[in-house]
A and B are shown apart, each in its own frame.
Chain A
Amino acid sequence: MLEWFSAISTPLLVLGGMALAFGALLGFAAVRFRVEGDPLVEQVDALLPQTQCGQCGYPGCRPYAEAIVNGDQINKCPPGGQATINELANLLDMEPMPLDAEHGVEDVKKVAFIREAECIGCTKCIQACPVDAIVGAAKYMHTVIVDECTGCDLCVEPCPVDCIDMVPLETSLQDWHPEIPEDGVKLIASDRPQRGTLSSDGSRGDKNKRDAA
């Protein structure tokens, strides 16, 4: 009995000692290198486009970031589009997925524009703007700060005289840059227009429409 005990006592001691040592180490590390806040939410939030448009179903980008960290889908952000989904997938180590059309579709960048002659100065749009990008006072004409407008279109609905338009953001000469060139030949077989799918240039689209009709 004693023999048996002495035989296993050394391994027991060693293993137990190691467990204690590593446990202490881990505990120390947990205290010493503790990270304040929830960095993942910050990281996710940093990738979202900050339009604060609520199309995802959450009241703003940060709430959506929190929801993503808590397990919501990453494809609910139309303003960010596929690029944002890909970046989120990369960050969270997930497979990228297509944009959930339920929340809207990707569109060109737009900004709100107030037709100032028609504005009656009701301040409803000012209250609706999530980023304070509309200036003006009651009974005075309002205007949009183009550089701050995120294009969320939350101001269009409340306007009683319908004087707000969403206009596409124009590219200036300074912002312009050439596109990635097209390949001389299509490299991948799936590039070919295939039956039943819509090619990007719509060359196949007509046939599809006819089929559908």
Chain B
Amino acid sequence: MSPEQETRTRQDRRHSAEERRAAREAQLIASEQQRALKPNDFPGGIHPPENKHQSTGEPIGSIPLADDLFVPLVQHVGTTALPLVKLGERVLKGQKIGEADGLISCAVHAPSSGTVVALEPVPVPHPSGMPVDGVVIRTDGKEEWCDLQPCEDFRKVAPVDLLEKIRECGIAGLGGAGFPAAVKLDPHGGTEIDTLIINGTECEPYITADDMTMRERASEIIAGVEILAYILDEPERVLIGIEDNKPEAIEAMRKAAEGTRFDIVVYPTKYPSGGEKQLIQILTGREVPNKGLPANVGIICHNTGTARAVYRAVRYGEPLISRVTTVVGEALERQRNIDVPLGTPIRHILKHHGAHRGLMQRIIHGGPMMGFTLEDDSAPVIKTTTCILVPTKEELPPPPPAQPCIRCGFCAEVCPASLLPQQLYWYARAEDREKLQAYNLFDCIECGACSYVCPSSIPLVQYYRAAKGDIRIAEEEKEKSDRARERFEFRKLRLEKAEKEKEEKRKARREAAEQARRQREQESDSPEAQAAKQEADVVAAALARVKAKQASPEQQLARAQRSLTSAEHRVERMEKKLADAPAEQRDQLAAQLKAAQLKVEEARQKLAKAEAAANTSGSPPSAVEDAADVQSGTAAPVPGPVSEERKDKAKQAIERARAAAAARASMSDADKLAAEIEAMKARVAKSEARLQKARDENDPNVDAFATALEKMRNKLEEKMREQNNGGGAD
């Protein structure tokens, strides 16, 4: 074979390989498209009793407006919104009362018109039961809307502006997670979005909010989907996924979607098919990569309720101020879905649904699989409140005590993420963070399927949540400690550098002085030198004179007396002037007088000092001090011993702190208290001395020292009282 031939064959081969690859890709795409309409399955999953019929008997209703609406400023995933209203301000329905703080945040709006009666931490549905900052609005019942900007044809508006609109309207995912919708719709530098998925699965038992919304408001949802598709630059496929246990909703959605290119895909009911990752697997066969987002595989997923909220926001300019919530549970007389303003206290809702206090054992926010119990029924409905479940004890019995894990593996069978829950459980108990991560703890979606089937009733999900939180905090701490180390090292370096620089400067100065001296000696004969010498002599003489003056206590005393008398004269004059002055000048004069009086005071003190100095004449210390001052003004201070001393001081401080800590540790509570009191007393004494000194020196911080002393005394008294009380109890 000739070389030419050979290259050609090689080229041919390459071509054919490329063709084959292209063909394979086309085939893959085609098969994926086919698969899209034929739903896939995902591993694991469970079939808990659906309990959906209780709340689907009635159309979506409403309840009377609550008197007070508690609107938390964080109802979403992300940072807390910044309040925009003041106490006592009147707000209109739909008025923005909280501004999104940063990118991952959400604006908050007034759900009804009324007055802001409080800006304070309000209860919020959260497993921690912690309150968050919020706005309390006392409603006036007028439901007076603020100005809204409707938009007839969204296609005339740029997608960027629509996104801004959605952001302004504070739309967070209504499926339960509450991620800001605008952020999700604006994928930053990801792959191209080829699929928009609308999630109408609602796989959790009991919850029917999406179901009822789809039945009654299908056209609004479809209109919202159109907007979403437009914003995403018309992705190739738009899939609306609904579980097959909602025939009415499927029917309504099919009808509403007629004439559009949206596909409605129906798949068998299985929990948790509504999980975003699971739904993506069902509808497209793709998997969201570990630590990635759906956008990484070209998919954006939104809830049906969110689609509707987007429609309302774009078409009518309505912000997100109400949502459809399922109110269900055997402890209620009436079970249904309601469209309720955000901020409505759950207590208010329960009251209007005939909650039977005797039967009620707990309130669950969300569904029975992923929801959490509420400590406080004054918590309000927020953007993520899909369901309020009030079961009786028989309906959802409290879990029996957990037994040891027997590694039966039921949990691994049902895990939709193909994890090994029993292994994770072991390692969570052992707090083995490395192993937990090796077993992919962070891929757990906390769906609760494992706990549901666990024959030993182990609260597995709680272990995972706790472990995740621990790891997250440990990582944060690690980061913080790394930063602290860096700063510490940097500080050390800086101090060393500063020390070195000082040292060098001193050296340079000393050398310069030395050189100058030598030069002077060398040139002592020249006239300039003579002149310089003379000049130096003059300076020295002047210095000596000043020194002598200052050194003489008698002279000082005399000067002090002089200044005192002059000050006193001035005060007298001032007083006279003040007496004669017209009313409008009085304030000014009074101030001047006060200043003069202060001067007198000062002069008196100086006099007293001078007198004291004069009394202890001979070699008065002040003179020595002054001499030292003069010296230090000319020559460089001796650096070595000082810094040494400082270092020693630091060391001593550490030693002292250590000794104190050691002593503290080895003492009983009472002893500790006593020791603390001793330490306090010492500090008070020190502080008194400091104050005295400050007074003597007329330090401007006298007041600060005085208050500090006062406070320390108070503290000391408190401690002593505590000690006395403790002693009494013993």
Contacts and interface: CB of A to CB of B under 8 A. Distances in A.
Whether both chains belong to one complex is answered with yes
Interface string B465-482: 111111011000100111
A108 interface: no
Given A50-B484, A132-B487, A104 B466 contact: no
A161 B704 contact: yes
B661 A185 contact: no
- The range of chain A's interface size is 35 or more
A179 interface: yes
Given A131-B484, A162-B712, A173 B468 contact: no
Interface centre among B429, B463, B662 (most CB of A within 10 A): B662
B74 A173 contact: yes
A173 B657 contact: no
A63 to B, nearest CB: 11
A148 B491 CA distance: 13
B705 A161 contact: yes
B665 A105 contact: yes
Interface stretch (A4-12, A14-22, A54-62): A54-62
Interface in B623-663: 650-651, 653-654, 657-658, 661-662
B83 interface: no
10 residue pairs, one from A and one from B, having the closest CB atoms: A177-B469, A184-B401, A50-B481, A161-B708, A50-B484, A184-B402, A101-B665, A176-B128, A131-B487, A104-B661
Interface of B: 74, 124, 126-128, 130, 132, 400-404, 428-429, 431, 457, 459, 462-463, 465-470, 472-473, 477, 480-485, 487-492, 650-651, 653-654, 657-658, 661-662, 664-666, 683, 687, 690, 701, 704-705, 707-708, 711-712, 730
B369 to A, nearest CB: 16
A147 interface: yes
B483 A148 contact: yes
Contact of A177 (B472, B690, B704, B707): B472
Interface of A: 45, 48-52, 54-55, 57, 59-62, 78, 101-105, 118, 120, 130-133, 147-148, 150, 154, 157, 160-163, 171, 173, 175-181, 183-185, 187, 213
A24 B329 CA distance: 79
A185 B472 CA distance: 29
B466 A179 contact: yes
B402 A181 contact: yes
Contacts of B132: 173
A178 to B, nearest CB: 5
Nearest to B491: A132
Contacts of B128: 173, 176
Given A102-B662, A173-B74, A133 B488 contact: no
B708 A118 contact: yes
A178 B705 CA distance: 45
Nearest to A103: B661
B127 A178 contact: yes
Given A57-B658, A120-B701, A173-B74, A130 B465 contact: no
B466 A50 contact: no
A182 to B, nearest CB: 9
Given A118-B708, A131-B484, 16 more contacts: A54-B654, A62-B488, A78-B661, A104-B664, A131-B487, A132-B491, A133-B487, A161-B705, A176-B128, A176-B130, A177-B470, A180-B431, A180-B462, A180-B466, A180-B467, A184-B400
| Most B C-beta atoms less than 10 A away, residue of A49, A52, A55, A178 | A178
A72 B491 CA distance: 26
A99 B403 CA distance: 33
27 contacts: A52-B484, A55-B658, A102-B661, A102-B665, A103-B658, A105-B665, A131-B488, A131-B491, A150-B484, A157-B653, A160-B687, A160-B705, A161-B701, A161-B707, A173-B132, A175-B473, A176-B126, A176-B128, A177-B469, A178-B465, A180-B429, A180-B463, A181-B402, A181-B459, A183-B402, A184-B400, A184-B403
B402 A50 contact: no
A185 B457 CA distance: 12
B199 to A, nearest CB: 25
A50 B457 CA distance: 41
Given A103-B665, A173-B130, A187-B404, A60 B488 contact: yes
Nearest to B130: A173
Given A131-B488, A162-B712, A101 B468 contact: no
B704 A54 contact: no
Nearest to A179: B466
A54 B657 contact: yes
A136 to B, nearest CB: 15
A1 B429 CA distance: 72
Given A101-B666, A183-B402, A52 B712 contact: no
Contacts of A51: 481, 484
Contact of B704 (A49, A102, A118, A147): A118
Given A131-B491, A162-B683, A178-B469, A54 B658 contact: yes
Contacts of B74: 173
Contacts of B401: 184-185
Contacts of A101: 665-666
Nearest to A105: B665
A175 B459 CA distance: 21
B708 A162 contact: yes
B437 to A, nearest CB: 15
Contact of A157 (B403, B466, B657): B657
Contacts of A49: 477, 481
A49 B488 CA distance: 12
A178 B704 contact: no
Contacts of A184: 400-403, 457
B413 to A, nearest CB: 23
A76 to B, nearest CB: 10
Nearest to B471: A177
A160 B485 contact: no
A107 to B, nearest CB: 11
A118 B491 CA distance: 27
Nearest to A145: B487
Contacts of A55: 657-658, 661
A147 B388 CA distance: 38
Contacts of A50: 480-482, 484-485, 488
Nearest to A86: B431
A103 B662 contact: yes
A48 B491 CA distance: 18
A50 to B, nearest CB: 4
A69 B701 CA distance: 48
Given A102-B662, A181-B462, A148 B484 contact: yes
Contacts of B708: 118, 160-163
B481 to A, nearest CB: 4
Contacts of A171: 130
A177 B127 CA distance: 9
Nearest to A80: B481
B482 A120 contact: no
A141 B404 CA distance: 58
Nearest to B400: A184
Contacts of B485: 45, 50, 61-62
Nearest to B465: A178
A177 B487 contact: no
Nearest to A158: B653
B179 to A, nearest CB: 14
Nearest to A119: B704
A45 to B, nearest CB: 7
A55 B658 CA distance: 6
A105 B666 CA distance: 10
A57 B651 CA distance: 10
Contacts of A61: 485, 488
Given A52-B484, A133-B487, A162 B403 contact: no
Given A45-B485, A52-B488, A187-B404, A160 B690 contact: yes
Contacts of A183: 402
B651 to A, nearest CB: 8
A130 B705 contact: no
Nearest to B470: A177
B484 A213 contact: no
